[in-house]
Amino acid sequence: MKTPRIGLIGIGGFGSAHVEHLGLLHERGEIRLTAAADPAFPQFRKSVEHLKSLGARIFESSRELLESGLVDAVTCATPIPVHASMELDLAERRIPFYMEKPPAVTIQDMDRVIEAVQKAGIPAAIGFQFLSMPSIKAIKQRIVEGRYGAVKEVIATGIWKRFEIYYNRTSWAGKLMENGAYVLDGTLFNPLSHILHLALYFAGTELNKAANPVNMRAELYHIHRIQSEDTSCVEAELDTGGRLFFYATLCAGKQLTPEIIVELEKGTVRWTGGTTVSFIENGEEKTESFPVPEDRVHLLAFGSFIEALRSGTPVDCPPELCRSFVQTGNGAFLSSGLPREISERYIRRVHENWSRTAELIGIRQIIRRAIRERALFSDLEIPWAVPGRWVDVSNMQEFNLYEDPQSEPPLPPPKGR
């Protein structure tokens, strides 16, 4: 394929980042951005005008786009509950795709997608774009080379803050299911999924492999008025012999940069979300910088997909590299059960400038202590914390949160201020 003709599915929301980056690649002659589809496209006038100025045709549905004969491949920035069915449709049509994370939210859907892509023999990439960053590639390379010995522990932390408008922006936000499809929208599967995915990737002993969870336990909570979780902690024993700790919240008073610490036999690697990495060896710390060209990580991730279309090279993040991430996310729900509501006593509800938000009092200090003690919240006897049970997830083939998967849970009742 010389200059691939790309279509974009999903223009609004995060799709605007796809419009921007695909537009740049079009202007540079690396792709032709020939079509885009979104049922709500009239709402995104600026993006639609930009797409049209590049010569792209706009459709109301992905089906019309896919049947137009205008595209060789697509990128998708669509709602989480449609990801798996869309990937299966694309594989059936043998249309290569770049799908935003997460590729699926149940292990059975993940396995179907992996199998369908392999059968179709098409390039398929998942939008865990950090895997395309030079800093991430350098960390993985050094871990796999064995320079610091085996990975003992990976500790991933995300302390973020979300406002009510974040949950009001789209119908599926904060839901466990929508229209009979799993969503599980929360720290694990959406905003902080990158660091869970990366932590498992760093723990893997081979270059293109992630570690798999064997036994695990987790605690899931919410304080926003949602069904799913907004605060979580996970401990997992991995098939590589290492151990994973994941701590995440969307309920902090102040948003911090995510951090991943990899403890190895002969050293420590610390990544704080950007282009610099600290390597600690023999007690000596060295910080190295791995710049991202133009500061645009998405261009690197799309670049890996386009190169795969052109010359058949592997993409940075294929679907199979996401299986253990989905397995861990599902295992967390199995261990914890439905996310628990935390009492108003521990919540500060505030209005800041333009939207309301909820703060879980002391969560930052609680996470710092949990990291120090390699503990989950209930181990620290935090008054609102409830332990999850240890679950063996090594042979997980099927995940169901409810006996009747078609039944959607009711929204939690409104809380006082």
Taking CB under 6 A as the binding criterion, the range among 9-17, 240-248, 274-282, 337-345 that sits at the site for ligand NAD is 9-17
CB of 45 to ligand NAD, least distance (A): 13
Q: How far apart are CA 387 and CA 184, in angstroms?
A: 20
Strand partners, 157: 247, 259
Binding residue for ligand NAD, selected from 4, 103, 127, 303, defined by CB under 6 A: 127
Strand partners, 263: 153, 268
Which CB, 13 or 253, lies closer to ligand NAD? 13
Q: How far apart are CA 76 and CA 98, in angstroms?
A: 6
CB of 234 to ligand NAD, least distance (A): 19
Three-state DSSP at 370 gives helix
238 token code pair: 């991995």
Q: How far apart are CA 249 and CA 384, in angstroms?
A: 15
Judge contact between 17 and 77, C-beta under 8 A: yes
**Residue 77 touching ligand NAD (CB under 6 A):** yes
Binding residue for ligand NAD, selected from 4, 5, 7, 12, defined by CB under 6 A: 12
Which CB, 75 or 335, lies closer to ligand NAD? 75
Site map (CB under 6 A) of ligand NAD, residues 26-65, x = contact:
-----------xxxx---------------------x---
Closest residue to ligand NAD: CB criterion: 13
CB of 198 to ligand NAD, least distance (A): 12
**Residue 174 touching ligand NAD (CB under 6 A):** no
Q: Please, what is the angle between helix 193-203 and helix 134-145, to 10°? A: 30
Judge contact between 65 and 93, C-beta under 8 A: no
Q: Report how many residues bind ligand NAD under the rule CB under 6 A.
A: 24
228 token code pair: 């799913």
Site map (CB under 6 A) of ligand NAD, residues 81-120, x = contact:
-x-----------------xx-------------------
Which CB, 194 or 364, lies closer to ligand NAD? 194
CB of 264 to ligand NAD, least distance (A): 28
Q: What is the DSSP string of 188-240?
A: TTTTTHHHHHHHHHHH-SSTT----EEEEEEEEEE-SSSSS-SEEEEEEEETT
Q: What are phi and psi of 215, to 5 degrees?
A: -120, 145
Which CB, 148 or 167, lies closer to ligand NAD? 167
**Residue 291 touching ligand NAD (CB under 6 A):** no
For ligand NAD, the binding residues (CB under 6 A) are 9-15, 37-40, 62, 77-80, 82, 100-101, 127, 129, 169-170, 190
